[in-house]
Structure 1
Amino acid sequence: MERLAKLRPLILFVSGLMGLAGVALAAAASHGGDAHLLGSASTMCLAHAPVLLALFIAHGSFRAATLAGLVLGLGTIIFAGDLVSRHFLGDRLFPFAAPAGGMLMMLGWLAVAAGALFTHRRA
């Protein structure tokens, strides 16, 4: 778990970029882009950006916060990235990218739920 703690700043960084991407994708979808693909990617980014921020902040009191944040962030990047790739490149990132990203997001949310069952160790 100590090695995961060193990756904590990455969660905050991804949260900010995900919020930025969510707004940009919403704008692209509303100005002639594929509302289905870009709108869905925007929704996932905008839904998970504040969650990543909250998990970054909750690190001290929530044992699974860093792990959940990393898994949620990676899943969202893969899922939204696949939708954006389909729109702009006409092809997916890799076979089963969106389902893989979706499964990672679900695992991340499961880590959040499991975190409620485990207290944080106090020094």
Structure 2
Amino acid sequence: MTHFVDRILAAFGALFGAAGLVALSAGAHVDSGGNYTTAGWMLMVHAGPVVFLGTAAPFSTFWRRLVLLFMIAGTVIFAGDVSYRTYAGESLFPMAAPTGGTLLILAWIALAFVLLLGSSEQRR
């Protein structure tokens, strides 16, 4: 049974999928610069892994949630900054997109380590 917190975190993946489709549509019809398309792909690429990590990942709750939080925060910051810059002409905060990208890189690296090394909860 999936814990309520995990279902909430997994729901971010579904929302990323919906927002990604909206951003990709805006990129195709509104934004000639391609920023909405970039944001859309960032959302789409991370939608599935976030749903998986929230519902079915086979490793410890602590590490799974840590990877999830980094992945959610990185996706929101990166895609949000790229979209906001296109819409409003300014950044969310200085170095927002690189910060979001760095969080995503760290999330994927942490996921690789957790999958390779396992956890004490898995070994029991």
Note whether the superposition's TM-score is higher than 0.5: yes
Give the aligned residue type for 1:14: F
Per-residue CA distance 1:46-87 (angstroms, 9 max, x = gap): 00000101111234x212222111110110000000001101
Write the distance in 2 (CA, Å) between the matches of 1:34 and 1:7: 39
Give the aligned residue type for 2:19: A
How many residues end up aligned between the 2 structures?
118
Name 1:12's counterpart in structure 2.
10
Q: Percent identity?
A: 32
Per-residue CA distance 1:15-69 (angstroms, 9 max, x = gap): 111111000001001112245210100000000000101111234x212222111
Please say if residues 58 and 65 of structure 1, whose CA atoms lie closer than 8 Å, have aligned partners that are also in contact. Answer: no
Write the distance in 1 (CA, Å) between the matches of 2:106 and 2:5: 18
Name 1:36's counterpart in structure 2.
34
Name 1:110's counterpart in structure 2.
109
SS of 1:121's partner is helix
Equivalence map 1:1-123=2 (5 Å): 7-59=5-57, 61-63=58-60, 64-116=63-115, 117-119=117-119, 121=121
Please say if residues 6 and 55 of structure 2, whose CA atoms lie closer than 8 Å, have aligned partners that are also in contact. Answer: no
Over aligned residue pairs, what C-alpha RMSD do you find? 1.8
- What stretches of structure 2 of length at least 5 have no aligned partner? none
Please say if residues 35 and 83 of structure 2, whose CA atoms lie closer than 8 Å, have aligned partners that are also in contact. Answer: yes
Give the aligned residue type for 2:13: S
- What stretches of structure 1 of length at least 5 have no aligned partner? none
Write the distance in 2 (CA, Å) between the matches of 1:10 and 1:111: 21
